[in-house]
Structure 1
């Protein structure tokens, strides 16, 4: 018995002096971004946190404080607490110190300089004449079941009016059970990567997606992160960022030499880089630089913001070629500090932040995306034959029909029992909920069609409204591939309730060449058109539930149009059009055109038209369905030439028109985006007002502001009145910047956009040529700026614009335009 009491006393004494391990992380108070290598001191011992701001200490006395310091922040003192093993320390910015820019040390700056100078010698795509390898890539949306609580919560659902109602929420419980059995989603592919003399191509050898007999081809071209660690701009989530080893990178990043380590028996500098503005959400990471040839031998990249991104690159050193070649690439995305859902494959997946333990009633906040790719069968400096090099990705029909035996060779983790269950369960889920059909339907609807048997119904032709026709009721359709893949016929009919006139059109087409998607078509229509508008025939068709501008237009002309034309994608990265048309035109307003002492109230125009849309920075893939633009990069350019043909089919006038536009959109990792639209046109010769330029006005000629409230257009001048200006040459520029959504509560999350528009133009011809309509010209320029508050509720928003400059109107109220905006979210 006395030994028992002796043991008890020893146990109590030992417990009283036992140390407790506490894990901590140092983050920025405002941005929640980890602070790398922060200085941590405890009990007269000083050390640094790691590059994620994490550290571990042995606490022997909770009365001894933990002190954390980092340049540019106030010191933070924290006392450990009993029972708490994880602490988050938030440092507050010292504004006085932040004003001074933190510079990179000379030693590490020289190392980075040598890395930049030796890029061409170390980048496999620039150093090697040729190489090819196969690559296995596995992507999954998954969650760790252990991180999900199975508790059934009580929630209070808010209503717009009245008291909140109490409900039981079993989402966590169901989600935990589901994720224990399988992953949320997964897909695999095997591709062949080829490179020869600066040309590269990817060929899909095999692919399968859970729940889909046919893959979503757009996903196969989705570039969530750059293949090469040397690429500049470096791409993350299809958004370009400046590579830290680019020439410009040294202006944006600070570099810190941490230590020297061994990789594959070779010494490497371990260098941490971060933005010079420490509280920004730009790229951060670790670079392992070979001390002999200054090549990247390993790399870690991280971004903390709207989403949290982790990317890891590992390399093998090929001694026979003296080069580091890609070995493995792993990419993980989790939810960041955003409140918006992140959509994948037409569904909604919410990703969680790993910075702090956040209590959430939303179970899917614990989900994340992981993509891993591993090269194999690597061949360097051997003969590489790249077929069809203009196509960046080729997806042959055979890649869609691989059996299970083929995929068994790529089984990496035999312990992952959830992987097989994911394919079987989601395949059945796809059949029950028709997920594949929804994706097929989405492709149709986004182009404005709804498939019914052998027809795709034209959704835009069903109902319209304008001041001339009133409500316009109609029906249009085009035959689809169920009827024929070589032939198609588009047709429509419509009736205006106000003008009581019937309009119609028909366009039969023949597929002359499938590879180049060359269609030969003929067309006839008897319809009305808005005066002085330029439509680029190569613009892609996108669905609109309505077209807001024509609602308020009264000046149309009747156009009996006969044409033959050819559409093709035979030129690389280009859509082209050539056609000849005859237009029998009758203005439906008081108008007379005087030309060569002749008076025209009706006239005929026969013209040839040649148009191109060139997307030089986009990339394309060849699929069994045709060619797809999978990387839509900017800028894009459109050029259109129109020339009337004298003495052909009773053509009345001789004139030439040249139209050009370019569009550039720059997305940011924060979710914001900026855009520029430049459009210009010039017309030579005898041009009636129906074919001049009015530069897309969208304002009613009414006195009171409230009387002028209508729907806003996408790129129209909101304060310019209809028929106010006409030009035979013009140039317009539109600048936009869209901010992130603002959460105001109860599904009211507006999206703000600031817009500036300007235009300049002239008309050399006398106004005496155009009788019956008075107008001004734009020699002095036109300027307007405004704010769009879009998607306030159910897609509806408000916009307000102000007109200023030389063409500002005398009455202040006349320069203000307030409009209603509407954005339809189809969820695709």
Structure 2
């Protein structure tokens, strides 16, 4: 009886005083950034959150508050809930308190200083002259099926005039069913990494992509984060950030020793780093620093913001080399606080912004992109001779058709049963939906062509409009690889309804070398060109539904051109074009060129032209289809020299030099800044047709509304056609684009602010008769705002001219234009 009483008492006591373990996370209310090492108080006990703001508590009384304290924030009171074992606490910034100043402890500062000073000794790329290894990389897009609700939702959607539309949404149910069986997308590759001195090259040994017979080569070069933890700047989604173990990084980050641990039997300091500005959406994480060599033995990186990125690096200690060598790299990308869709692999994927356990109506709220990379077969003894070091990735034809048994050694390491099913399912889906054909078609269309059997129809020549020709209808084509990979013929014909003239051109070409993409060509054309237009021979002619600037131009000249040309990518990171042309020029407006007491109303020009575009910071990939610029980096530079050749029947002698550079900087927030600088100069005697008008885009009419036309990309919107001409000039375009603003009803403009300025001059203005114009020695400045992509790609721009060439009437300095941006979805 006594034993029964004791048993009953203990059972009652444990039930009465039962404790429940809950997990939680503390985040910033506005940014959702986790608050590392915040104090969590509960019933007199104090614990600290970890570096991800997470904590665990034993709860005995739910009515007792959990209090969170952190410097720079109001104290936050929260209460656990018996219905859930997860608690998300959002702390609010104390705006009345002084911004907390963070300092690194002296001891940690000395350790970090040693890490920085020993970087070259510990980085394999710097410490070792030669090595090579193989690497297996697996990329997949997936979701955790357990996090997705399978219920069918009822959606109430309000229309524009207040009416409500009701419909059932089963997308969550279908999405859960899909990701329970397979991943959304996946691709694998095995590559050989060779390093010799300061050069590293990757050769793809095998690759396969679910749903594609031929790989999407751009994905093979996908680099979400830096390969080396010692790189500076450190790259996140192709955006550079300061590395916390760089000299400059110490000015931006605060460091804190968490504890001392053992890794592979060696003592290591566990150091947490975070931005000195606590609420900054910048890099933060944990570094495990070898206490003897001060090398990074393990690393965790996080970025919270528009995109949430988790990256983990693990290393193996090699005793013989006294070096921590990379072993495994894992990356996970999820959507952060942005309301915008994060586009990956050509699709639109929506990601959950935080750890709040809510399920939205959008089926892909829980999707993520992950990459796992594993090193094997390391060799330090082989001396590598890296051929063509400017080619960072080489994809030979033999890597595209490896049998299934090749992949078995790599597949055995994974227990994910969804992996194999993804290949089978997506291969079937690709055939059924013709995904591969649509991708092939999209690449053709974005470059301005539509494939029809042995030819690609030129979409740019079908219809155009300008003030001289009126509507211009035409037909053009180029033969494709189905006919031959070694030669091609392009031709076009067009007719203007207003000038009632036929224009045409034909260009046969022959490929001299496949690897360097060297082509030789000959051409003849009879057509029109805008007066004083600057074209770079190396510019890519992208497809446009309309070309806004020529619509209102009326000053053209006719040319009859015979030419031979050579184009090649044989020079590293450079695309080069060499042309020799013979032209008969006939201005189609009132113009006379007076030179040495001789009058020219039409003239002959023979010119030699050398043009090249140099992309020194981009990375290139050699594929069976040719050379691909897979990692486009800025700045880019274009040079062009045009020299008249009097010995080959040319009426004038002149030299024309043109230069431009373009720089674009994207930010992790989704915003971007762009700078375009262009300059040119003509030495000698050249007619007005071959000078510079600097891309004006405004018609000379009195009322603002009468001047509303389409905006150009890099044109001066308040400069009137034929207002200024120069034989030497410099122009600067500055632009910053903000994130899109969602105003509802599918209205989400992309706002940009821009300033454009130009300076120029011209000698011997009295030699150019018939067309009045001004000079630009005092300069030209305009600034404006653009609201692009407001609805279905349509937007508007507004610019104002000011400075030395401002016009007397205020209205004449204002330009309002319609903009249109076509998104083909490729």
TMscore range, shorter length = over 0.9
Aligned counterparts, 1:92-491, within 5 A: 92-161=92-161, 163-413=163-413, 415-491=415-491
In the superposition, relative to structure 1, how do residues 600 and 206 fare at CA in structure 2: closer, same or farther (>3 Å)? same
Give, in angstroms, the shift of residue 157 of structure 1: 3.0
Greater displacement, 340-349 / 580-589:
340-349
State the secondary structure of the residue aligned to 2:46.
strand
> What CA distance in whole angstroms lies between the structure 2 residues aligned with 1:340 and 1:329?
28
State the secondary structure of the residue aligned to 1:95.
coil
In structure 2, the partner of 1:672 is 671
1:778 lines up with 2:776 in the alignment: yes
Give, in angstroms, the shift of residue 804 of structure 1: 0.6
What do you get for the CA RMSD once the two structures are aligned?
1.5
| Structure 1 contact 128–381 (Cα < 8 Å) conserved | no
Give, in angstroms, the shift of residue 540 of structure 1: 1.6
> What CA distance in whole angstroms lies between the structure 2 residues aligned with 1:14 and 1:489?
88
State the secondary structure of the residue aligned to 1:140.
strand
| Structure 1 contact 32–355 (Cα < 8 Å) conserved | no
> What CA distance in whole angstroms lies between the structure 2 residues aligned with 1:82 and 1:438?
52
| Structure 2 contact 32–354 (Cα < 8 Å) conserved | no
In structure 1, the partner of 2:798 is 800
1:822 lines up with 2:820 in the alignment: yes
1:752 lines up with 2:751 in the alignment: yes
Q: After superposition, give the CA deviation of every residue in 1:567-601 in whole Å (9 maximum; x if it has no partner).
A: 00010000001111011111111111101101111
Give, in angstroms, the shift of residue 268 of structure 1: 1.0
> What CA distance in whole angstroms lies between the structure 1 residues aligned with 2:169 and 2:188?
34
> What CA distance in whole angstroms lies between the structure 2 residues aligned with 1:26 and 1:781?
55
| Structure 2 contact 338–353 (Cα < 8 Å) conserved | no
In structure 2, the partner of 1:716 is 715
Give, in angstroms, the shift of residue 338 of structure 1: 1.4
Give, in angstroms, the shift of residue 384 of structure 1: 1.7
> What CA distance in whole angstroms lies between the structure 1 residues aligned with 2:317 and 2:485?
50
Q: After superposition, give the CA deviation of every residue in 1:246-302 in whole Å (9 maximum; x if it has no partner).
A: 121112211111111111111111111111221121111111111111110000011
Q: Which runs of 5+ in 2 are unaligned?
A: none
In structure 1, the partner of 2:596 is 596
In structure 1, the partner of 2:732 is 733
Give, in angstroms, the shift of residue 12 of structure 1: 4.2
State the secondary structure of the residue aligned to 2:784.
strand
| Structure 1 contact 72–97 (Cα < 8 Å) conserved | yes
In structure 2, the partner of 1:619 is 619
> What CA distance in whole angstroms lies between the structure 1 residues aligned with 2:414 and 2:788?
50
> What CA distance in whole angstroms lies between the structure 2 residues aligned with 1:358 and 1:723?
60
| Structure 2 contact 149–359 (Cα < 8 Å) conserved | no
Q: After superposition, give the CA deviation of every residue in 1:64-107 in whole Å (9 maximum; x if it has no partner).
A: 32111111212112233333322111111123445353222222
Aligned counterparts, 1:683-702, within 5 A: 683-702=682-701
> What CA distance in whole angstroms lies between the structure 2 residues aligned with 1:30 and 1:274?
18
Aligned counterparts, 1:578-657, within 5 A: 578-648=578-648, 650-657=649-656
Give, in angstroms, the shift of residue 411 of structure 1: 1.4
| Structure 1 contact 705–817 (Cα < 8 Å) conserved | yes
Give, in angstroms, the shift of residue 63 of structure 1: 3.2
| Structure 2 contact 359–365 (Cα < 8 Å) conserved | no
| Structure 2 contact 307–333 (Cα < 8 Å) conserved | yes
In structure 1, the partner of 2:785 is 787
| Structure 1 contact 254–276 (Cα < 8 Å) conserved | yes
| Structure 1 contact 469–500 (Cα < 8 Å) conserved | yes
Q: Which runs of 5+ in 1 are unaligned?
A: none
> What CA distance in whole angstroms lies between the structure 2 residues aligned with 1:756 and 1:318?
55
Consecutive aligned runs of 4 or more in structure 1 exceeding 4 Å deviation = 1-10
Greater displacement, 267-276 / 412-421:
412-421
Q: TM-score, normalised by structure 1?
A: 0.98
Greater displacement, 478-487 / 218-227:
218-227
Give, in angstroms, the shift of residue 15 of structure 1: 1.7
| Structure 2 contact 133–193 (Cα < 8 Å) conserved | yes
In structure 1, the partner of 2:91 is 91
| Structure 1 contact 565–579 (Cα < 8 Å) conserved | yes
| Structure 1 contact 346–439 (Cα < 8 Å) conserved | no
Q: After superposition, give the CA deviation of every residue in 1:150-204 in whole Å (9 maximum; x if it has no partner).
A: 1000002343345121000000111111111111111100000010010110000
> What CA distance in whole angstroms lies between the structure 2 residues aligned with 1:267 and 1:818?
66
State the secondary structure of the residue aligned to 1:647.
helix
Give, in angstroms, the shift of residue 351 of structure 1: 2.2
> What CA distance in whole angstroms lies between the structure 1 residues aligned with 2:336 and 2:461?
42
State the secondary structure of the residue aligned to 1:410.
helix
In structure 2, the partner of 1:30 is 30
